[in-house]
Amino acid sequence: MEIIHVSAECYPVAKAGGLGDVVGALPKYQVKMGHHAKVVMPMYKTKFLYQNEWAVDYKGRTNLGDRWFDFTVIKEKHNELGFDLYLIDIHGLLDREAVYGYADDTERFTAFQIAVVNWLSHWQHRPDVIHCHDHHTGLIPFMMKHCYDYNKLAGIPTVFTIHNGQYQGWMGWDKSMYIPRWDEWKRGMLEWAGTINPLASAVKCAWKVTTVSWSYMEELRYNSNGLEALFEYEKGKCAGILNGIDAQVWNPATDKYIDNHFTTDTVDEGKQANKELLCKQFNLDSSKPLFIFIGRLVGEKAADILPDAIMSSLYNFKDQVNFLMLGSGEPNVEWQLSQLVPAYPGSYNAVIGYNEKLSHLMYSGADFLLMPSRVEPCGLNQMYAMQYGTVPVVRSTGGLKDTVVDMGDFQGWGIRFNHATVGDLTHAIWRGIDLYNNNREHLAWMRKRMMNIDNSWENAVQQYLNLYSSLR
Ligand code: ADP
């Protein structure tokens, strides 16, 4: 099958979160299974762009309302990533350093989507499926089905995957003129609650909709930032397919970012060696359990309860625990986490920012990973942690619920709690400390148990392939 993935992110070209990881891995595994998977994404000014060789694939001209623009589709020459990678260059709009966060993001990603369908409509043959990811590509199913200029694409199946349903790409009706030639009576296919809602539009127009875990699919029907009724109505075409992890990038036996490699047989020693390096670098104590957090410091991740839970733990379980935080996001949380550093020397440290290498070192050297998320569509961090024998301490929600079994349950290897509150999180931390101090043998068993779980992509890829086949 020829599968075209359209996304705003793809690791290692540009990544802001889990979406990038998934779009960097899924096509690679589809190619391994004998299919032609391609990724098309915006051309940002990233390191990857400058480090690789490119060939021009197509040059076009189109418009965003009354603003005409030229675009160029360039293709990476040497198949560096294991699949064909195409970048859309729209000078002045997409060629920025960051992926998101600009005042004109609506214009940037709408222009990107228009360029994609314009380019596809010039192909001599038709691909088997167009697989769009998250709201930045949510207008594509509508345009393929309902815009006169892209009529040619109307019969190509579309799949839309929701990696995060909280962000929906809302835009005012004044921007409807950006979308090329369509019949006014079809506005219902773009609208939700009075605005153009690209995520809702994709749920209505795509042939199939998937989310990145089964539990998240269920949760969207009662908690999806206003789209609950839509998910209830469209549940017949929705399915949950749990993400996998890229075992080439996330493997403690070969990880290029860590110094002490390990396998299930050497996990205890390997982890301790990495923990010692980490603790030395961040002024922590390697004889105590090390709890880490890695991620965006936002409400969705319940990052706001971390400072109080850390203070409460350091107060109640004095001298028995270490914390190391890595993340960036809401300024007040960044500030609070930074303020704790001088208050607890030797037991607590925080790095505000994004650091891929450090994240690998942390997964490999830590004992526990905290994920108190309020919403977690799939969550990759807990799966990476499990791959490195780091006990996930998670709230029972979405993909966390689908991938972590509590150590109190039969053959469980994690710690689960129900509420994103300081009390619940502190109690979960206590369970971790108790395990580390009083039941080291069981901890060693849990590490091996979780490292043996197969979270690889092969299984998920097969489910996507079955889904595509059902549409042909
Ligand atoms: P989300 O996509 O909602 O942010 P996921 O758990 O699906 O959450 O994926 C997060 C990914 O981003 C993981 O690969 C994680 O290691 C990485 N990540 C998040 N924040 C940072 C950071 N500050 N430094 C390094 N990696 C980070």
pLDDT at 110: 98
206, 317: one domain:
no
- Read off the pLDDT of each residue in 38-44 and give the average, rounded to a whole number: 98
What the block records as the tokens of 195 is: 């605005």
Q: Say whether pLDDT at 248 is over 90.
A: no
> Given this model, what pLDDT does residue 210 score?
98
Do 240 and 306 belong together in one domain? Answer: no
How far is Cα 346 from Cα 428, in angstroms, rounded to an integer? 22
Domain membership of residue 18 (yes or no) is: yes
Rounded Cα distance between 382 and 396, Å, is 12
Nearest Cα to 109, choosing from 224, 208, 202, 203? 202
Atom of ligand 1 lying closest to residue 327 CA: 23
Residue at 253 is within a domain = no
Phi, psi angle pair for 70, to nearest 5°: -95, 145
Q: How far is the CA of 427 from the centre of ligand 1 (A)?
A: 25
∠ CA 239-24-397, rounded to 5°: 45
Are 103 and 190 members of one domain? yes
Q: In the predicted model, what is the mean pLDDT of residues 345-361?
A: 96
Do 465 and 435 reside in the same domain of the chain? no
CB atoms within 10 A of CB 58: 17
Categorize the per-residue pLDDT at 318 as very low, low, confident or very high, splitting at 50, 70 and 90.
Answer: confident
| Bridge partner residues of 245 (DSSP) | 456
pLDDT for the residue 225: 94
- Residues 11 and 113 both lie in one domain: yes
Angle at 164 (CA atoms; ends 100, 248), nearest 5 degrees:
85
Q: What is the pLDDT of residues 47-84, one digit of tens each?
A: 999 999 999 999 999 999 999 999 999 999 999 999 99
In ligand 1, the atom with minimum distance to the C-alpha of 376 is 3
Write the Ramachandran bin of 225: left for phi over 0, alpha for psi from -120 to 50, otherwise beta.
left
On whether both 172 and 293 belong to a single domain, the answer is no
pLDDT of residue 136: 98
Backbone φ, ψ for residue 38 (5° rounding)? -130, 150
Domain presence at residue 465:
yes
- Closest atom of ligand 1 to CA, residue 212: 7
| 327 and 193 inside one domain | no
Asked if residues 27 and 58 have their Cβ atoms less than 8 Å apart, the reply is: no
Q: Are residues 158 and 284 in the same domain?
A: no
**Does any domain span residue 257?**
no
* 224 Cβ inside 6 Å of ligand 1: no
Mutation choice for ligand 1 from 359, 363, 369, 370, CB with most ligand atoms inside 8 A: 359
Q: Is residue 256 part of a domain?
A: no
Read off the pLDDT band of 20 (50, 70, 90). very high
Task: Give the pLDDT score at 222.
Answer: 92
What local confidence, expressed as pLDDT, does residue 472 receive? 87
- What pLDDT was estimated at residue 247? 85
Instruction: Compute, in angstroms, the gap from residue 181 CA to the centroid of ligand 1.
Output: 39
Residue type (1 letter), 365: G
Amino acid at 235: K
Would 165 be classed as within a structural domain? yes
Distance from Cα 298 to the centre of ligand 1, integer Å? 12
Residues counted in the chain: 472
Q: Is residue 279 domain-shared with residue 388, that is, in the same domain?
A: yes
Give me ligand 1 centre to Cα 20, in Å: 9
Answer yes or no: do 281 and 238 share one domain. Answer: no
In sequence order, the 6+-apart residues with CB closer than 8 A to the CB of 405 are 411, 412, 413, 414, 416
Q: What percent of the chain has pLDDT over 70?
A: 100
Q: What is the CATH number of the domain that holds 382?
A: 3.40.50.2000
Query: Which stretches within 152-240 are classed as H helix?
Result: 198-205, 214-220, 228-233
Whether 239 and 313 map to the same domain: the answer is no
Q: Are residues 136 and 104 in the same domain?
A: yes
Please report the pLDDT score of residue 179 as a whole number: 97
In this structure, the residue with its CA closest to atom 2 of ligand 1 is 18
Distance CA 298, CA 288 (A): 28
15 is in an annotated binding site: yes
Distance from the Cα of residue 6 to its chain's centroid: 15
The rounded Å distance from CA 19 to ligand 1 centre is: 9
Residue 355 near ligand 1, beta carbon < 6 Å: yes
As a whole number, the mean pLDDT across the chain is 96
Is 254 part of a structural domain of the chain? no
Number of domains within the chain: 2
Residue 414 amino acid letter: G
Angle between helices 356-365 and 267-281 (to 10 degrees): 130
Report helix, strand or coil for 162: strand
Range of the domain at 90: 2-244+457-471
ipTM for the complex? Answer: 0.97
For residue range 140-172, what is the model confidence (pLDDT) as tens digits? Answer: 999 999 999 999 999 999 999 999 999 999 999
By most ligand atoms within 8 Å of CB, the mutation choice from 294, 334, 354 for ligand 1 is: 294
Q: Which of 161, 158, 160, 162 is nearest to 129 (CA)?
A: 158
Residues 89 and 77: beta-carbon distance below 8 Å: no
- Enumerate residues 6+ apart whose C-beta is below 8 A from 85: 10, 13, 38, 39, 41, 75, 76
Answer whether residue 407 is part of any domain.
yes
- How many angstroms separate the Cα of 76 from the Cα of each of 24, 51, 120, 245? 14, 11, 18, 24
